[in-house]
Amino acid sequence: MSGPSTYEPKSGFTRWLDKRLPILRMAHDSFVAYPTPRNLNYWWTFGAILTLCLIAQIVTGIVLAMHYVPHVNLAFDSVQRFRRDVEFGWLIQPMHAVGASMFFLAVYIHMFRGLYYGSYKAPRELLWILGCIIYVLMVATGFLGYTLVWGQMSFWGATVITNILGAIPLIGPEIQVWIRGGAAIDQPTLNRFFSLHYLLPFVIAGVVGLHVWALHETGQNNPTGVEVKSKADTVPFTPHATVKDLFATALFLILFATFVFFMPDSLGDPANYVPANPLQTPPEIVPEWYLLPFYAILRAFDFNIGPIDSKLAGVLAMFASIGVLFILPWLDTSRVRSMRYRPIAKQFFLIFVIACLALGWCGGQNPGRILAQSGPYRATLNWVEGGNVVQRDFSAPSEQQFDDAAAAMRQTLVGEGAEMTMVSRENATDAHAMAVMGGTHQSRTITAGTGEELEVMVQEAKNEIGLAAPFYSVDRQTPMTFTVTRLSQIMTFYYFLFFLVILPILGLRERPDRVPDTIAKPVTAEGGA
């Protein structure tokens, strides 16, 4: 793509350098003369924005490491001290914390851009896969860094995530102990997380280098998805793309600065401003916003799938949801790259974006929260008023025969004219049966909005009826409910449906829109107009 180099050293020194280390030539060819499609829109500026994010995280991170103490008793305080006492700590710590969120915001836009315009398709498969590797490294780095703060959410988040590894069959528990360096999250864990958190950004930088290399080999995709045909379809990277990237970066920095200066803590969980306490769990354990969709997928599996128990199924689905991105270039069978010319795929893509956002919302909610229900919770109390209570002890010959003996006892009592019977067991074989003889049947129906309210009201009703009834039978009717978990399940289903079914089949069946001749064919002559 790059073509022959057009770099011409101007001074004596650059000529000397060019013979020995053509680094300026490489920079010139990559960032000045590099031909970039002239129809790129602003969605293409996030590469530059992400570069800025990575540099900002590394610079602020190195500064933070100068003041951070990776010790369970000191870590939390050292972060607070940095923020309160160190010169400009109030600025640099939030830059790093907010920067993580901004980094993920930018990377998600960058990824959705690639999805929409088919930037993962041949010949850019490796470019896409390198991007996926960067994303996985970012998730790992983000998780490790969040643990270092050593607040309540750091500690319990790390506990839950390492517990997840324990779900792996056979070797899970060993891996869990190996990662933690002990039976629980403790000093060894914090220490190694610090080491790895310092290491991974440089690994990311290395893979970013490969990502950019691969990009410059294949050339950039563009909104039409049609490869550039001639030099007339491109402009030099500098000044055109450089200035556009700088402008977009400036806008992005306004958002960044708004968070850093006016609401530095708004993206974090309040529970993480409480020091880690292994003896107390925060009321709800949730990850940072950028991992919520995956957390929702993890928790969507509240049922066993054959031999795979629910916990492992959730773990597998969570890893698969990222893993599926790696094989995406071969899942999408469409020969049309950009969804601009794929009228049906475009709509499925929109639903996919909504599903991802919905998963993010679900991940932050209590999974049992009821979003809709078919009716109220209902309970019917039955009791007998005004009868005589008879108590009779009995024993079953063995533990196995207890149920039969109890049924026989009830039958006997009913035969003697009991209106209601009850059996309460003392131990393996002994029990006593109670029966109410005579009296009149009473019943009362209670309705309530939630299950907890119903239990309270049932208890109140029992207190009210009081001694008039020796015992009750309670029939509870639970309405059909639609919970956050159910919504997560539907959205998870669509997430995988999109990649594994819709994209492969739609690519073969969809009739794409016609690409205008002005785009499909070069209309300007080479070097003309």
Q: Residue 170 or residue 279: which is nearer to another protein going by CB?
A: 279
Among 243, 263, 408, 428, which residue sits at the site for another protein (rule: CB under 8 A)?
428
- Choose, by CB under 8 A, the member of 4, 283, 307, 415 that binds another protein: 283
Q: What is the DSSP string of 12-26?
A: HHHHHHHHH-THHHH
Exposed/middle/buried for 449, CB within 10 Å: 0-12, 13-18, 19+?
exposed
Binding residues with another protein: total (CB under 8 A): 33
Q: What's the CA gap between 75 and 81, in Å, rounded?
A: 10
Q: Which DSSP string do the residues of 85-145 spell out, in sequence order?
A: TSTTHHHHHHHHHHHHHHHHHHHHHHHHHHHHTTTTSTT-HHHHHHHHHHHHHHHHHHHHH
Q: Does 427 bind another protein (CB under 8 A)?
A: yes
Find tokens 């209309």 and name the residue: 523
Residue 303 touching another protein (CB under 8 A): no
User: Using the rule CB under 8 A, is 177 a contact of another protein?
Assistant: yes
Cα–Cα nearest to 131, from 231, 56, 35, 210: 210
Q: Which of 86, 109, 140, 179 binds another protein (CB under 8 A)?
A: 179
Q: Nearer to another protein by C-beta: 252 or 377?
A: 377
Phi, psi of 177 (to 5 degrees): -65, -40
The first and second tokens of residue 153, run together, are 């959410």
Determine the interface stretch with another protein among 61-69, 179-187, 238-246, 496-504 (rule: CB under 8 A): 179-187
The stretch among 40-48, 185-193, 350-358, 500-508 that binds another protein (CB under 8 A) is 185-193
188 lies in the binding site for another protein (CB under 8 A): yes
Binding to another protein, residues 220-279 (CB under 8 A): 278-279
Q: Cβ contacts of residue 302 below 8 Å, gap of 6+?
A: 310, 367, 485
Residues 107/196/185/147 CA torsion (nearest 10 deg): -40
Please list every residue from 119 through 158 that binds another protein, using CB under 8 A.
156
d(CA 367, CA 60): 36
Q: Which stretch binds another protein (CB under 8 A): 26-34, 281-289, 335-343, 464-472?
A: 281-289
Lookup: tokens for 17: 């350098």
Question: Whole-number minimum distance, CB 156 to another protein, in Å?
Answer: 8
DSSP 498: I
Query: Minimum CB separation from another protein for residue 182, in Å?
Result: 5
Give least dist CB 166 to another protein, A: 10
**Min CB(303)–another protein separation in Å:** 12
Question: Is the CB of 60 or the CB of 481 nearer to another protein?
Answer: 481
When the beta carbons of 278 and 516 are compared against another protein, the nearer one is 278
- Per rule CB under 8 A, is residue 488 in the interface with another protein? no
Site for another protein in 383-422 (CB under 8 A): 402
Handedness of CA 197, 147, 322, 50 (dihedral sign): negative
* Assigned token pair, 337: 């790259």
Q: Which of positions 350-369 make contact with another protein (CB under 8 A)?
A: 366-368
Q: How far is the CB of 71 from another protein (least distance, A)?
A: 15
| Residue of 77, 284, 404, 460 interacting with another protein (CB under 8 A) | 284
Largest Cα separation within the chain, whole Å, is 117
Q: Which residues neighbour 47 within 8 Å (Cβ) at sequence distance 6 or greater?
A: 110, 215, 245
5, 25 contact by CB (below 8 A):
yes
For the bound state, the minimum distance from the C-beta of residue 312 to another protein, rounded and expressed in Å, comes to 12
Out of 26, 205, 207, 285, which residue is the one contacting another protein (CB under 8 A)?
A: 285
> What 3-state DSSP class applies to 508?
helix
Q: Which one, 85 or 284, has the nearer CB to another protein?
A: 284
Tokens of 404: 């039969």
Residues near another protein (CB under 8 A) are 156, 159-160, 163, 177-179, 181-186, 188, 192, 278-281, 283-285, 302, 366-368, 402, 424-428, 455
